[in-house]
Amino acid sequence: MVDDNELRKLRDIAAPAPGESAKARAFEAALRGYDQENISAVTQGSAGGLRLTERAQKLWSEIMQKKLIATPALAGLVALPIAGYATFHMLREPLSTFGGGEKITETLADKPATIKPTMPEQKPAPTELAKDKKAEADVESRNANDALVAPASPPKSESTAVGGLAQQNAQGQVAPAEPAPPAPTGEFALDSTTSAPNTSRAARMPTAESELMAPQQPAVAPADQLQPQEENRNRVQDFKTNPVHAALEDPVSTFSIDVDTASYSFVRRSLKEGSAPQADTVRVEEMINYFSYDWKGPDSASTPFNSTVSVMPTPWNTHTKLMHVAIKGFDIKPTEQPKANLVFLIDVSGSMDEPDKLPLLKSAFRLLVSKLKADDTISIVTYAGDAGTVLMPTRAAEKDKILNAIDNLQPGGSTAGEAGIKEAYKLAQQSFVKDGVNRVMLATDGDFNVGQSDDDDLKRLIEQERKSGVFLSVFGFGHDNLNDQMMQTIAQNGNGTAAYIDTLAEAEKVLVEDASSTLFPIAKDVKIQVEFNPNKVSEYRLIGYETRALNREDFNNDRVDAGDIGSGHSVTAIYEITPKGSGGEQIDPLRYGQAAVNNGGVANADEYAFVKIRYKLPNEDVSKLITTPVTSANEVASFDQASTDQRFSVAVAAFGQKLRDEDATVKFGYDKIMEIAAAARGADPFGYRSEFLSLVRLASALGGNR
């Protein structure tokens, strides 16, 4: 308590001395302004902070805590100027500040700090909120004089001061707590509060011009800015779904065989990440051929593969049938496998510096090394800004040396893919094994940006290099920057295959379980040509293989490159055909019909089609021909009578078409696909078919089982 003598000493001090009623009115006006500002739905205006009473209280507490005023007399001497100063500034504020109804002008100092789209709003913890409510009630209960002169409680914590207080309206009702407002800036910015990324006080101070000219902006960004759409940087080849052909006008279909599996792995990754795959990443034939099937194979290596053709009803169209062409390659026994000369061509550019790229690649190739025989040869070429040989040809028996070279690979630099390819082929030629397997194994995300990076230029380069007898396999890694189109171009023109590795389990499937078919070719330049009989088939369409189409005359041209089949590979192609007179035709008949013939009719009128397959042995340049007529003897009465593998492959074909949103399966739901696949799952020793069922469920959830 200050005695009368000390008060008399203060009478001569020149300081504002408003009466009690004036201070009370100022205090009530400040409360109304605070409530009006914080309860209003308008998001613009001054950022929330401490009331003037609380600022004075905080200042007083800091002075006392630092013991700057040691005696009661001096405390009283300082208290009155502080009270007057605060009241003077409250009375000087514009009416709009105290709820006068005029529009608040927003300044740079008043604007909240930029909100990062991905950061959630910060909410006060329950304990802190309860503490804030109590502190707010204490402040409301004090009179103006006590609040300005003698603070009765310790200062609030930093989090409370910034904006953790529950709001109250003019009638004293407590409103629901809102997220803490941005830290105030400008004249009354608190040093203890957390400011925007630029923390210098000079940077936060607005100029007079900025205060007047700052545009009005909402405090919160629109929803589409908070969650911007991620740019799709994957590069895939655009293609149109195969059309329906009239057998009378265009009876011949020709395409290159395909044993690539990259599309299935890419589709699986997209679905597991919660998004429907881009249509052009779905190559139906690669999804079908991802799975192993127990088709009947050849009896000896002299005939590299066997073909089986069946005709069955179409599950998604009662007016059509499916012509199912199954090819099985001869399975070389491990003891008969030829010696392998492998060159690992590894992309170590900066774009490979991701967990699912170079680190996964290194783990995958470690698995492959453990699969090779002791007398096989391994070389390693890397490329980034330029190409270099990391490991000269080394016998697989020196496993530690090879694994150490793989482990020491580090990413960095640009991507000189052309130089790397040339260096790898050069090294493969130096260690060429006659009558053996000579293969470059390219592992990359396909982001070539140094040297020849155009797909056509790379195609010509690969076509030139394949004449050396060295095959090429391509393994894609990574996401969001995958050049799938380039990898397909290289694989298709390099007498090789393409796979996409997104997990270590997929690496084990491709490089360990399917190592024989991946590494050891049994036939190259394999082409299929099917001629349909217009007397039995009105229309047909090939499911998939759009990027593998060939001209009719290419079939007999041995200079035209085509697909390759590895040891034990199974290959499937499916046509949907419309039997003549079934009523399912989509193309109007010709007005003048079929031209008359003088031989009394059409030869082989009982056949649905005639299937021809051309292939070359790995070390030969002249093709051989296999033919198969398709008659009623190849037909099964119902879809359920087809084999387990045939029905499962049809389910995969339906799934691929569904993902591409093709017309043929628009009314065929994911539940029907699930039903067929579940009934035809079979033994499934590695769980691949069970995983397929889970992908169908994911696609159904994303697409609403349309």
Per-residue pLDDT for 667 more than 60? yes
Model confidence at 446, pLDDT cuts 50, 70, 90, reads: confident
Per-residue pLDDT, averaged over 466-479, amounts to 88
**What secondary structure does DSSP assign to 618-653, as a single string?**
TT-SS-EEEEEEE-GGGB-SSGGGS-HHHHHHHHHH
Confidence category of residue 82, pLDDT binned at 50, 70, 90: low
Residue 211 has a pLDDT of 40
Rounded to whole angstroms, how far apart are CA atoms 229 and 673?
A: 31
Distance CA 420, CA 654 (A): 40
Distance (Å, whole) CA 520 – CA 438: 9
Q: Is pTM, for the whole model, over 0.85? A: no
Confidence at residue 44, expressed as pLDDT on a 0 to 100 scale: 41
CATH number given to 341-514 = 3.40.50.410
Of 16-25, 81-90, 226-235, 362-371, which has the strongest mean pLDDT?
362-371
Query: With pLDDT > 90 as the criterion, what percentage of the chain qualifies?
Result: 47
Residue 16: per-residue pLDDT:
60
Please tell me the distance from the alpha carbon of residue 78 to that of residue 57, in angstroms, as a whole number.
Answer: 13
pLDDT in tens, 392-416: 999 999 999 999 999 999 987 666 6
The kind and range of the H/E element at 339 are none
Return d(Cα 680, Cα 689) in angstroms, integer: 9
Most trustworthy range by pLDDT among 32-46, 134-148, 300-314: 300-314
Q: Residue 333: what pLDDT?
A: 85
pLDDT tens for residues 254-309?
Answer: 999 989 999 999 999 999 999 999 999 999 999 999 999 999 999 887 889 999 99
What is the share, in percent, of the chain residues with pLDDT greater than 70?
65
**How confident is the model at residue 5, as a pLDDT?**
67
d(CA 530, CA 528): 7
Please tell me the total number of residues recorded for the chain in this structure. 706
Cα 36 to chain centroid, rounded: 47
For residue 307, the model assigns a pLDDT of: 94
Give me the DSSP letters along 537-592.
EEEEEEES-GGGB--GGGGG-TTS--EEEETT-EEEEEEEEEETTSS---SPPPTT
Structure tokens belonging to residue 27: 């205090």
Joined together, the tokens standing for residue 175 give 């409103």
Taking alpha carbons only, the member of 55, 53, 44, 31 closest to residue 190 is: 55
Please give the Cα distance from 502 to 161 (Å, whole number): 50
Cα separation values, 423 from 300, 465, 498, 507, 534, Å: 37, 11, 20, 25, 52
Residue 176 has pLDDT above 80, yes or no: no
Candidate ranges 8-17, 157-166, 345-354, 372-381; pick with highest mean pLDDT: 372-381
* Cα–Cα–Cα angle for 631, 634, 260, rounded to 5 degrees: 110
Label the pairing between strands 471-477 and 498-501.
parallel
Looking at residue 281, what is its pLDDT?
94
The DSSP bridge pattern shows strands 340-347 and 317-329 to be unpaired
Q: Does position 354 have pLDDT exceeding 70, yes or no?
A: yes
pLDDT digits (tens, 9 = 90+) for 202-253: 443 444 443 434 444 444 444 444 344 455 667 788 899 999 999 999 999 9
Whole-angstrom Cα distance, residue 639 to residue 672?
A: 13
The pLDDT score that the predictor gives to residue 460 is 82
DSSP string, 193-244: S---S---HHHHSPPHHHHHHPPP--SS--HHHHSPPPP---B----PPPPP
Mean pLDDT in the chain? 76
- For residues 653-677, average pLDDT: 96
Specify which residues 391 forms β-bridges with: 380
What is the mean predicted confidence (pLDDT) over 635-641?
96
The confidence band for 484, taking pLDDT boundaries of 50, 70 and 90, is confident
pLDDT band at 518; cut points 50, 70, 90: confident
User: Which residue did the predictor score with more confidence, 27 or 73?
Assistant: 27
Continuous segment of H or E residues that includes residue 523? strand 521-532
What whole-number distance in Å separates Cα of residue 71 and Cα of residue 426? 92
- Residue 15's pLDDT is 58
Give the span between the Cα atoms of 384 and 373, in whole angstroms: 30
- The pLDDT tens digits of the residues spanning 562-608 come to 999 999 999 999 999 999 989 888 988 877 766 544 555 667 888 99
What pLDDT is stored for residue 467 in this prediction? 83
Question: Whose structure tokens read 């105030």?
Answer: 184
**pLDDT band, very low/low/confident/very high, at 50 (cuts 50, 70, 90):** low
What is the C-alpha to C-alpha distance for residues 116 and 221, in angstroms, rounded to an integer?
9
We find that the CATH architecture of domain 245-332+522-581+604-703 is Sandwich (2.60)
The domain segmentation of the chain, as residue ranges, is 4-226, 245-332+522-581+604-703, 341-514
CB within 8 Å of 401: residues ≥ 6 apart? 391, 394
The band of 634, judged by pLDDT with boundaries at 50, 70 and 90, is very high
Take residue 185 and report the two structure tokens written for it.
Answer: 């800036």
Q: Return the sign of the alpha-carbon dihedral for residues 587, 593, 595, 599.
A: positive
Work out the pLDDT band at 34, boundaries 50, 70, 90: low
- Give the lowest-confidence range in 48-62, 580-594, 595-609, 649-663: 48-62
Q: Do domains 245-332+522-581+604-703 and 341-514 have the same CATH topology?
A: no
Identity of the highest mean pLDDT range in 112-116, 117-121, 461-465:
461-465
Coil, helix or strand at residue 168:
strand
Mean pLDDT confidence for 303-323: 96
Q: What is the rounded distance in angstroms from the CA atom of residue 677 to the CA atom of residue 682? A: 9
* Averaged pLDDT, 168-172: 42
Q: Is the pLDDT of residue 421 over 60?
A: yes
